[in-house]
Structure 1
Amino acid sequence: MKKLYIVLLLVCVAAVGASAQSKLEQDRQTIKALAGFYKVTFNYAETFAPDTAYKFHPRYNSWGYEWAVIEEDSPKRIVIQHLLVVADSMVIKHWREDWEYEQPTMLAFDKENRWTKVTLKPAEVKGRWVQKVFQVDDSPRYESIGTWVHVDGRHQWQSETDSPLPRREFTKRSDYNVLRRGNRVYLTPEGWMFEQDNKKIIRSENGDKLLAQEKGYEEFTKADEAKFAFAKGWWAEQKGYWADVRKVWADTFAKNASIKLTSKVNKKLLFEQLFELGDQSVKEKWSSAKNKEEAEKAIKPYLGS
């Protein structure tokens, strides 16, 4: 009887382990499905403000073509780089998303271009994925954590986190300084959707004050791969340089408990510096060591205290 009990126990343990592995692989395949060739539409509208005198800003609508390419794929880490196709012969390195499984730390955005590393409890990370979103220069934007759910044919992940102002507003507005993102990512028959319920926050020493709420939809619809031929060639030349830039940033994050970024140095934005170095690296065929050396020299002046 005792032997039978032990056998049954081992079978149960094995079944639980297999189930957990199956769920992890299902998560991984869903994340990898975010990669591809897309037409992206951006639609945002402010929906509510506690101050009845507040004037809602105009709705934001835009679209473009974007290639999301997997740059790293390991059992618990998937890196997806987005490339914006502006014209048949023009490509912009766009945002990047890293997915990390059961990561124990995160960079939390405060305000004024400052992020602080926070440690999560084991119960907060178990079975969950951190999505790290980076700017076009691979500097931090925001990180958030959530669970992928696969039910009734629906594959969805959601989270809430603070971030800087979105690109569509950070050069146009100064009436708030934190965007609290309510993010939902889910697959659709045509691609995937990035749905948002956001709060525009005024953060000060006295706490947070809600300015307005907004609804956002970024819809990724599968597009003809032929449109991305130039982008493929361009990225094939640039990807080695940007892999080295990622390593410089990874070292920076590892060495610092907080990150504070200066907007401009010598009247130049960081992405301008790094984009120019990328073109130079391709032209002069720099080594990996040279890429990292030049990227580190470019990034260091932008790191405040």
Structure 2
Amino acid sequence: MRARLLIGAVFLASLASHVQAEPRQFTFSWQFEEGDALRPRGGTTRGTPLTLATEPSAAWRAVQEPGLSKFERDRRAILAMAGGYRTSFDFLETVGFTPGFTPSRPYQSWGTEYIYVVDDRGTFIRLQHVMVMFITDRDGKVQGPFVQKHWRQDWSYEDTDLHVFVGRNRWVRHTRTAEEARGRWSQAVFQVDDSPRYESLGEWEHYGTYSAWTSDRTARPLPRRETTVRSDYHILEGINRHTLTPTGWVQEEENLKLVLDEQGQPAADAPYLARELGVARYEHVVDFDFSAGDVYWQRTGGFWRDVRAAWDAVYAERDSFEYLEEVDGQEMFVPLFEHAERLDAGEPYDAAAAAEVIRATFARHLR
């Protein structure tokens, strides 16, 4: 089990491995920087051959259907993000705001993952990402599948009760008026252990074959790709755009790296260090074996449902809370993933035992 958790930690950090990928392509960069100081960092594994979809998906075609209400077209656009994908992640600092600014190394990574529709109640849709990876080692042998519960996104129509990140490990309730939420959807994003990441209202736009959701400005904790290499800012503040394509979807980010003072307010002299652009592409794949992800979710879904219920109780009972991702050298995901690992190995689900694991973990990491 420990070995498989270590594999999970590799996924969480950067999907890095001992296998060096082929040189990666990028055309939007700092052209005049010398040397390899801005060589992209991130995942370096090499996957197995796969086939990308070339025809528009049925879900994408459903969004184009004439005569739909705006609400129904929005719903279909959200549901169209489900399915199996090859994913790629690119992040690049484009502008610096401080004297002597030096851009940090760009970040690139990849994965293969399946996005499940866990819940669809009309005005609420829950999508769960599960990574299923096959890796080609240096001898050309295929290793895997490696399964990793990934991030989750919840979509709520005309949502007025949001929990937003304000820095220093703290989230607060932010109530929006009915008018502010009218016709809009919130997207709440959660980390691999179902702890909160960010939440924001936004609006879908549809023009013919163009469908995209754009968020309000949103505050987020530093992502793992940043916390592993730096600690000189406190909030990633940005705007997200989710855009459908005929064979997948794209998430674009425009982020500002925000520094807080000791009082938790933006630093007066230099609040922002840099602007960063991010692009995550989700490309439909065909004939890829995601069955290990199906099995994982069938065996562990009840446990993760109970974890979500515990978080729902926190949101209902508290107007603010602090979440400590790491306590005494152990991250929150570890005991939860260990329990899920036993279930994935075939251990019957014991709700009482799971409740104790969840209770102890929350007591350790929530304030």
The answer as to 2:85 corresponding to 1:23 is no
Shift of 1:230: 1.6
Q: 2:88 aligns with which of 38, 41, 50?
A: 41
Shift of 1:278: 1.5
**Alpha-carbon distance in 1 for matches of 2:154, 2:326:** 26
Letter in 2 for 1:26: R
Shift of 1:289: 4.5
Whether the 8 Å CA contact 2:335–2:357 is kept in 1: the answer is no
The answer as to 2:275 corresponding to 1:213 is yes
Shift of 1:21: 8.0
Give the structure 2 partner of residue 32 of structure 1: 79
Q: Give TM-score scaled by structure 2 length.
A: 0.74
Higher helix proportion, which one? 1
Letter in 1 for 2:360: K
Give the structure 2 partner of residue 71 of structure 1: 118
Give the structure 1 partner of residue 260 of structure 2: 203
Superposed CA deviations along residues 17-49 of structure 1, whole A, max 9, x for unmatched, are xxx982111111110001110000111110001
For residue 175 of structure 1, give the secondary structure of its aligned residue in structure 2. coil
Give the structure 2 partner of residue 148 of structure 1: 204
**Alpha-carbon distance in 2 for matches of 1:134, 1:222:** 23
The answer as to 2:228 corresponding to 1:181 is no
Q: Give TM-score scaled by structure 1 length.
A: 0.89
Shift of 1:84: 1.4
The answer as to 2:139 corresponding to 1:139 is no
**Alpha-carbon distance in 2 for matches of 1:207, 1:112:** 12
Superposed CA deviations along residues 118-172 of structure 1, whole A, max 9, x for unmatched, are 1111111011100000011101000011111111321111112010012211121
Deviates more, 1:115-124 or 1:232-241: 232-241
Shift of 1:266: 4.2
The answer as to 2:257 corresponding to 1:257 is no
Whether the 8 Å CA contact 2:236–2:255 is kept in 1: the answer is yes
Letter in 1 for 2:357: E
Aligned residues: 286
Higher strand proportion, which one? 1
Give the structure 2 partner of residue 274 of structure 1: 336
**Alpha-carbon distance in 2 for matches of 1:53, 1:281:** 52
Shift of 1:117: 0.4
Q: Which ranges of structure 1 fall in alignment gaps of 5 or more residues?
A: 1-19
The answer as to 2:257 corresponding to 1:194 is no
For residue 136 of structure 1, give the secondary structure of its aligned residue in structure 2. coil
Whether the 8 Å CA contact 1:37–1:225 is kept in 2: the answer is no
For residue 165 of structure 1, give the secondary structure of its aligned residue in structure 2. coil
Deviates more, 1:280-289 or 1:179-188: 280-289
Shift of 1:184: 0.4
**Alpha-carbon distance in 2 for matches of 1:21, 1:291:** 43
Aligned CA distance change for structure 1 residues 288 and 28 (closer, same or farther; 3 Å): farther
Letter in 1 for 2:83: G
**Alpha-carbon distance in 2 for matches of 1:135, 1:65:** 17
